[in-house]
Amino acid sequence: MAIINKGTAFSNGEQLSANKLNDLVDAATFGTDSVDNASTIVNANGAIAVRDSGVTAAKLATGAVTDAKLASGAVTTAKILDANVTTAKIADANVTFAKLTDVIDDDTMATATNTTLATSESIKAYVDSSAQTFVPASYAGEESVTLPNGLIMKMGSTSSKTVNYGASFPTGVVSVTIAHRNPYSDTYGNASFVNSSSTSGFTIDSGRSVSGTGSWFWQAIGY
C-alpha cells in the first residue's frame, strides 16, 4: 500500500547523491491509498483535496455550525423545507410552538386572550359584524348614528325652542350645539343659545324676549 509515491527510484549498487535524495523528497506525491476516495481525493497536482460531496452531516461535530459561521442572510425560507424542520431538531427551550389549542375560532372574540391566536375567518366576521361598525351601517337620514366606540351623534333642524330626541342618550350628554338657519326679526334674536340639556333633549333661549320666529341646525353628542 503506497501512501506516498517517491520522487525518484534507486537501483541496487547505484551511487547515492544529494540531488537524488532531494528528488526523493521534493518530487514525491501522495498515492491513491492515502485517501478514502469518498470524502478526499488526490487531485491532478498530487495534493490531497476534499471532494465537493465530502463534507456530510455525519462528519460535522455537534454544535460545529454556529451563528458566527453563517453569513448574514444565508439561511432563507427557500433553503428550509417544512419537512426538515421538526420538533426533534429544534430545542423547545429556544422555540415556542403554537398548538391548535392556542387558536380560537370565535366570531365575537368573547374568548380572546393575550396568549391565543384567532382564525382569519373569525377576525373578518368580528370586523364585519354590525356590533363593531357604525349603526346604522349606512346613513339614510337618521337622527342618530352610533360610532364603534359607543359615542353617539344626533343631528337635525328645528323651528321650535324645545327639542326632544327620537331616542334618549343611554348614559349622558357630551355637548349640544346650535346654528341659525335664518335670523330673528329683531336685533337680539341671533344671540340664541342652549338653555338646558338632558339625555332626552334640550331647549333654546335667546336671553331676551323676542317676537320673531327662527329655525336652527343642531347637533348633540353623547353616549
pTM, two decimal places: 0.43
The predicted pLDDT at position 159 comes to 87
Please name which of 166, 127, 120 lies closest in space to residue 148, comparing C-alpha atoms. Answer: 127
pLDDT tens for each residue of 18-35:
887 887 777 788 887 888
When pLDDT is averaged across residues 172-191 and rounded to a whole number, the result is 73
Rounded percentage of the chain residues whose pLDDT exceeds 90: 24
Who has greater pLDDT, 134 or 176? 176
Where do the structural domains in the chain lie, given as residue ranges?
4-50, 100-130, 144-222
Q: Look up the CATH number of domain 144-222.
A: 2.60.40.3940
Confidence class for position 69, pLDDT limits 50, 70, 90? confident
**CA–CA–CA angle 116, 122, 127 (5° rounding):** 110
Place of cell 370565535: 106
Please name which of 33, 37, 69 lies closest in space to residue 50, comparing C-alpha atoms. Answer: 37
Element of type H or E holding 197: strand 193-198
Q: Is 192:180 a contact under the CB 8 Å cutoff?
A: yes
Highest mean pLDDT pick, 45-54, 173-182, 200-209 = 173-182
The predicted pLDDT at position 43 comes to 85
